[in-house]
Each structure stands twice: as structure tokens, then as C-alpha cells.
């Protein structure tokens, strides 16, 4: 879809910090991460909402594969998935959490301090190779 930022990322017109991909889905680091390792998982084919994605189950299975990589690379205490839809192209947020689940807020309210380009590249590579 024209003027869709995630379609442009999928098409390679806008760069991203890629952590995983297959024929149908792409996972990359959120540039405004709520925690270290916050990833977005998008379908390559445009869909407005997560529930509009064809092969909904397959999409979530891919997200789980990404989550396993995050777990291996970053050893979070737990991992959170959420969907919202502010950007109008389906995306699943996967957020590694580093505080005990019992005392964690429902979701982190503010982005962490931005990492440098170099740190983002290193982090993406570390997750990708896990
Ligand atoms: Zn799109």
C-alpha cells in the first residue's frame, strides 16, 4: 500500500534493523523501543489489523519463533506480546520484560533511551543469530 511505512520497510525502501524473516513475515527492532529488544513482527502483504492477516495462525507461529530468538539472545524474565494498531499495517509487538511478572506494569509506558545505530545493529544481529 502506498504511503504505508511498514510496506516501505518490507519493500526495502526504508531500512530496518531486521531480526528475522521468511517469505511472508518480517521482524525488526522497534526504533522507539519500550524495552531493549522490542521487536515488531509484520506480514509482508499489507493488512490493516492483525486479525486481517491471512494465515493468522502461521503469523503467530512466526512471532513465536522470533520470541524464542529474543529469549535466547537477551534472557528476559518474561516476554509480552501485544497488538494495538497505531501504524495502519498489522504488527505484533514482542517486548522482552526484565522485571518480575508479578510486579511489572501491564506494559511499559515510555520508550527507553534510544540506542545508537551501532548498538541497534549489534542487537539486531545478536537476536538474528540466536
Ligand atoms: Zn502496509
pLDDT tens for 115-126 read 999 999 999 999
Q: Give the distance (Å) from ligand 1 centre to CA of residue 15.
A: 15
For the chain, helix, strand, coil in percent to 5 are 35, 20, 50
- Asked whether residue 1 carries a pLDDT value surpassing 80, the answer given is no
* 91 noted as active-site residue: yes
- What is the reported pTM? 0.95
CA-to-CA separations, 81 to 47, 107, 108, in angstroms, rounded:
18, 10, 12
pLDDT average, residue stretch 16-27? 98
Cβ-proximal residues to 106 (8 Å cutoff; 6+ apart), any chain: none
Give helix 117-128 / helix 56-74 axis angle, nearest 10°: 110
Q: Give the distance (Å) from ligand 1 centre to CA of residue 99.
A: 33
What does the domain layout of the chain look like in residue ranges?
5-128
pLDDT tens string 88-98: 999 999 999 99
CA 115/CA 98 separation, integer angstroms: 17
Average pLDDT, the chain: 95
Q: What is the CATH number of domain 5-128?
A: 3.30.428.10
Catalytic site residue from 38, 89, 91, 93: 91
Cβ-proximal residues to 95 (8 Å cutoff; 6+ apart), any chain: 34, 35, 37, 38, 39, 79, 80, 81, 82, 107, 108
Q: Give the distance (Å) from ligand 1 centre to CA of residue 61.
A: 20
CA 16/CA 110 separation, integer angstroms: 21
In 3D, which of 49, 30, 55 has the Cα closest to residue 107? Answer: 30
CA 2/CA 41 separation, integer angstroms: 19
Amino acid at each position: 500500500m502506498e504511503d504505508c511505512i511498514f510496506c516501505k520497510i518490507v519493500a526495502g525502501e526504508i531500512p530496518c534493523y531486521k531480526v528475522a524473516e521468511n517469505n511472508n513475515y518480517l521482524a525488526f527492532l522497534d526504533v522507539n523501543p519500550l524495552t531493549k529488544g522490542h521487536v515488531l513482527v509484520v506480514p509482508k502483504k499489507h493488512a490493516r489489523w492483525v486479525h486481517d492477516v491471512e494465515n493468522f495462525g502461521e503469523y503467530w507461529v512466526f512471532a513465536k519463533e522470533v520470541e524464542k530468538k529474543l529469549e535466547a539472545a537477551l534472557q528476559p524474565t518474561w516476554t509480552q506480546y501485544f497488538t494495538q494498531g497505531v501504524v495502519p499495517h498489522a504488527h505484533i509487538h514482542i517486548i522482552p520484560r526484565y522485571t518480575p511478572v508479578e510486579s511489572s506494569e501491564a506494559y511499559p509506558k515510555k520508550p527507553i533511551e534510544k540506542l545508537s545505530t551501532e548498538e541497534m545493529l549489534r542487537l539486531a544481529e545478536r537476536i538474528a543469530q540466536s
